[in-house]
Chain A
Amino acid sequence: SLAKKIKEEKMSNLVEEYFEAHSSSKVLTSDRTLQKLRKRRLNQETLHDLLKKAPLAYAAEIKELNQQHESMFSKWLLQLHLGFNIVLYGLGSKRDLLEKFRTSLLQDSVHLVVNGYFPSITVRSILNSITEEVLDHTGTFRSPLDQLEFITKRFKEDSSLELYVIIHNLDSQMLRGERSQQILAQLSSLPSVYLIASIDHINAPLMWDQAKLSLYNWLWYETTTFSPYVEETSYENSLLVQQSGSLALSSLTHVLRSLTPNARGIFRLLAQYQLEKKDNPSYPGLSFQDFYQQCREAFLVNSDLTLRAQLTEFRDHKLIRTKRGADGVEYLLIPVDVSTLTDFLENEDEDV
């Protein structure tokens, strides 16, 4: 009972720690930011190149693991045919494994591969590819439900139709919604549709309730591969990868090049003001009245109306954002991060 007591104590400690950590909104971390790091941010391409250079650790062991999983292939096929669907979980990308399953066993049969990690995939596109490619039906449907009904009917009528569906990352952003899961579940419950899917997110099982689980009829297989998620994370916008920054800068300069000198001056003024206030985290932006005053003083505008027109143009190009403060005053902000703005101003200075 002593061990039990210790365990209980540990548990209660854990619980208390949890609430302690979550009670205050203050978090103790250092204030250093990546900006201050002397190195430049990497972009997607250089990252890819660098990673190619880095050798994959424990390649031999990983290969052995994969071979273990591959020995299950024929069993999977049998189980798929008996009405179960297979779901793979575990650390590491399961893409290559599924790909291998496809090439080694499904070469001769009709199969559909769905890349769930692809950011613009939708259930509708999955259903479309079934109706168009597999069933040779060229027609549109009012709703996915109708489409599903059509598919169900066709599959029930024609027992010779068989379809293997492989879904990489069933739990990805686009497919995790309730509706899409419902439709996929119904699809997978058809006896001649065999589904094999992989999940990665730790909370993936949360998206299925009893009814869906029974439709899916899962058989779980643990396939820990330890292989890196190359394809999957290439769409994941990481904080560390420089992405939107370069794009925003070039678009910024391009748009501003096409403007009148006065308009450019207006934007400069706003940018400078924002840079001065960059250390103040609660800076709401420049209020319209103040801005108008400053622009007048710099002889950039002569009336309220012209400034408003100019700002509207900026807003259309998504160069500025207006926010209404607590006191009802309109505040103007440039929704670009500080470094890009600094770069922009430096470029401008060079040009002039």
Chain B
Amino acid sequence: LGVNVTDHDLTFRSLSDLLQNNITPYIALLEAKDCPGIKNLMQKLMAQLMNCSIDADSLEDEDYVQVSQSRIRCSMSSLIKWYKSGTQKTDSETPSQKRTSSTYWQPPPVVVIFKDMESFTTKVLQDFIVISSQHIHELPLVLIFGIATSPMIIHRLLPHSVSSLLCIELFQSLSCKEHLSTVIDKLLLSDQFPFKLGEKVLQVLINLFLYHDFSVQNFIKGFQLCILEHFFSQPLSVLCCQLVDLKKRINSLSHDQCENIRRLPSFRRYVEKQESGKQIALLTTDNFLKEETERLLEDLHVYHYNYVSVLRCLHVFTSSLPKYPLGKQIRDLHCACLENQVWETEEYESSLQLARMLNKSDLVTMLQQCVEILLSSSGKEFDKTVEKLKEFLTQFQNLEAEAFQERDGSISSQKELQKKTDLYHLQKTLLELKESRRSKKLTKFEMLRFEVVDYIDCLVRNYLVPADHRTLHEILYFNTATVLRGHLNAAPRTALHTALNNPHWYLKNQVLKCDGGSISNKAPDICIVYKLHLECGRLINLVDWLEAFATVVMAAEAPDADTASSDQVDDIIHARFIRAVSELELLGFIKPSKQKTDHVARLTWGGC
């Protein structure tokens, strides 16, 4: 298993369910945090096994009581006794049970799953393995270890004498990236769900996945948050629904909601493009607006159907190109398409150029794949496209015969070349060949190839318009990435840093505004103390610090009337200093130091 510990739970649960249904009723799942010692481990194991078998066999209540009593004394021998009686019971039970157990007339194995091998204490693990290996003839145990790193860890955790007791067979799980690809494929690129992610949001989620935790569960959590955020903040998200419900919901819109629609930026762009009569109708009549909205939203859905299938086609092409200019995975392509008009990017340009140099067999297989994709898509507009592509295919088949001839031709010219071994002639013929090739009209195949690529290009241009450019995209697409990033991947340190360095950012007061680096002497106490502490080295003398603070604060208060006696002011300043310092201590910037009297040590370095 991979390092994405958070996803393992699901895997293990389905594994144990599967095993329970197909092989054996005896399964125990052990976690490292439950088993600090061998005693706890045995207790846990016993409890789980007995409960497991009860679940599976659904015995009477009295048996349950018995079992829970025996939980107190947990040892290997009692486990074996219980196991024997259990197997005997299943052997000599009612016929129906006998039938199931007779399919494996030898007793079923007991499976113990160690969820997180790395976090177990080695001693416990070793002891358990040694103990169980001694009883293996009475108690057929199968141990499954979940390893987050590499199999090397088994040999590092277990000494040779113990690992030799195990008969290890390695299994590999799917890499988390593949999981992500399937999730994206099924979740984001399906036309079942009306809710879509905008480019920036998707980028944030993918970055979190790839650069932080590799956890699919967290990806899904982020997606959930997106849905929540979208339906919470966007008043028009009621219209984010299946086409079937759309009409009803649009008809039930209130006037205010219509106003909301009018306020959408993409809708305004749309209105501006209409002629004046229609503009007025759109902006004033609610009913007309509703009809128009319905049509536009239907368009949006249709656009999405087409988008997905064309995207898949394009992916078929680009994923086979060398160096993957547009990315290897379909998610890269999806991001690129959402971000911009994809045909304007350099990468697209280079990938088209590469596509023009494809050889025939590849091209044919790709076209066939495209046809399949388009056929399976539910959009109706592709009939023509499919026909066109099929036509291409037949043309290719027709071409084959000609291609052979051509190849013959080229072979003959090469033969000629071989005949003339004279250096001078060779050079001359080579030049001739080159020239002829340059001047020669493109072969039929090449022409066709260009035609195909151009056609694909035009498909892309028609269907892969980024969502941002569509009218009313705000309803279906969620695109506030900053909110998402703030909630999922926060940086408390940065927040503290800005608050301490730049109190103006939070407290909107003109007095606090000043250019970077320096700090106004009217800032809150803690900011001044923090700034002064930044100027120090590793240790800070409290007296000097206090005096510096007093100077700054006095300078700030000097313009005020000095009515209060200086002594009292001093005391107050002292008290404020104490408060600020203890706040800094609470925040973890400094700690009291024993190295020198009345000094504190800094715990941070540099600007933060």
A and B assemble together? yes
Which residues of A are in contact with B by a Cβ distance under 8 Å? 14, 17-18, 21-22, 27-30, 32-37, 39, 42, 46-47, 50-51, 53-54, 57-58, 61-62, 64-65, 75, 78-79, 82, 84, 89-92, 145, 182, 199-205, 210-211, 213-214, 217, 219-222, 224, 226, 228-229, 232-233, 236, 238-241
B571 sits at the interface (CB 8 A):
yes
Cβ distance B220 to chain A, nearest Cβ, rounded Å: 11
Contact of A219 among B225, B542, B571, B606 (CB under 8 A): B225
The CA-CA distance from A66 to B206 in the complex, in Å, is 33
From A169, which residue of chain B is reached at the shortest CB distance? B586
Whether A47 contacts B587 in the complex (CB less than 8 A), given A29-B540, A224-B506, comes out as no
The CA-CA distance from A238 to B585 in the complex, in Å, is 8
The CA-CA distance from A14 to B608 in the complex, in Å, is 12
B156 sits at the interface (CB 8 A):
no
Interface segment, one of B239-247, B277-285, B328-336, B592-600: B592-600
Contact of A47 among B225, B489, B578 (CB under 8 A): B578
Which residues of B are in contact with A by a Cβ distance under 8 Å? 3-6, 33-34, 213, 215, 217-218, 221, 224-225, 228, 232, 486-490, 492-493, 495-496, 499-500, 503, 506-509, 522, 524-526, 536-544, 546, 570-572, 574-579, 581-583, 585-589, 592, 595-600, 604-606
Give the residues in chain B near A65, CB-CB below 8 Å: 506-507
Contact B586 A90 (CB under 8 A): no
From B541, which residue of chain A is reached at the shortest CB distance? A29
Contact B605 A239 (CB under 8 A): no
Contact B509 A61 (CB under 8 A): yes
The CA-CA distance from A233 to B576 in the complex, in Å, is 13
The CA-CA distance from A222 to B6 in the complex, in Å, is 25
Give the residues in chain B near A241, CB-CB below 8 Å: 578
Cβ distance A141 to chain B, nearest Cβ, rounded Å: 14
Contact A34 B228 (CB under 8 A): no
Give the residues in chain A near B525, CB-CB below 8 Å: 57
Contact A21 B538 (CB under 8 A): yes
24 A–B contact pairs at CB < 8 A? A18-B605, A18-B606, A29-B536, A29-B539, A39-B574, A42-B574, A46-B571, A46-B575, A53-B572, A78-B228, A89-B495, A91-B496, A92-B499, A202-B492, A202-B493, A202-B589, A204-B492, A210-B3, A214-B6, A220-B489, A220-B492, A228-B579, A238-B582, A241-B578
Give the residues in chain A near B586, CB-CB below 8 Å: 200-201, 229, 232-233, 236
The CA-CA distance from A29 to B544 in the complex, in Å, is 9
Contact A42 B571 (CB under 8 A): yes
From A221, which residue of chain B is reached at the shortest CB distance? B487
Cβ distance B494 to chain A, nearest Cβ, rounded Å: 9
Contact B579 A32 (CB under 8 A): no
The CA-CA distance from A37 to B526 in the complex, in Å, is 22
Contact B582 A34 (CB under 8 A): no
The CA-CA distance from A27 to B536 in the complex, in Å, is 10
Give the residues in chain B near A51, CB-CB below 8 Å: 575-576, 579
Give the residues in chain A near B576, CB-CB below 8 Å: 51, 54
Whether A54 contacts B572 in the complex (CB less than 8 A), given A27-B537, A61-B509, comes out as yes
Cβ distance A199 to chain B, nearest Cβ, rounded Å: 7
The CA-CA distance from A239 to B526 in the complex, in Å, is 17
Contact B541 A32 (CB under 8 A): yes
Contact of A90 among B492, B526, B579 (CB under 8 A): B492
The CA-CA distance from A46 to B215 in the complex, in Å, is 53
Contact A214 B218 (CB under 8 A): yes
Nearest 9 pairs of A and B residues by beta carbon: A220-B490, A214-B6, A91-B499, A50-B575, A89-B492, A61-B507, A233-B582, A201-B588, A27-B539
Give the residues in chain A near B540, CB-CB below 8 Å: 29
Cβ distance B225 to chain A, nearest Cβ, rounded Å: 7
From B485, which residue of chain A is reached at the shortest CB distance? A220
Cβ distance A92 to chain B, nearest Cβ, rounded Å: 8
Contact B487 A28 (CB under 8 A): no
Contact B490 A222 (CB under 8 A): yes
Contact B509 A224 (CB under 8 A): no
